[in-house]
Amino acid sequence: MPAALLTVGCFFVPKGEAMQDDFGNEVHPQTIQELRLRMDTIQQQLDANTESTRRTESNTSELIDILNSFKSAFKVLTWIGRLAKPITAILSFFLTVWGIIVAIKMGMNPK
């Protein structure tokens, strides 16, 4: 590659000569280099933001685990609640029968 050519992306532009953009405006190599520096800065900021996002994700993973545990605990409590209703009815029936039997054995007659 001749030394008099400047690499811009995948294009080779003679040094000191300007390129044209899609609208026919001249784009000087200095402008291209400024844009490249700006893109490098944006990329660095994006990398820093990505790292920050990963740290936040790792820090909140424990919180998410705790919330999932609570979700599972509430499922179990819901199952217990569903079982408690029929068990309460059955126990009430047997306690009523037992109370009647005790009342009859003690000689208490209903009025």
The torsion angle over the Cα atoms of residues 38, 42, 48 and 49, rounded to 10 degrees, is 160
Q: What is the pLDDT of residue 109?
A: 62
d(CA 21, CA 18): 10
Q: For the whole model, what pTM was predicted?
A: 0.43
The Cβ of residue 75 has, within 10 Å, a number of other Cβ atoms equal to: 10
Which residue numbers in the chain have pLDDT < 50? 1-3
Q: What is the pLDDT of residue 105?
A: 86
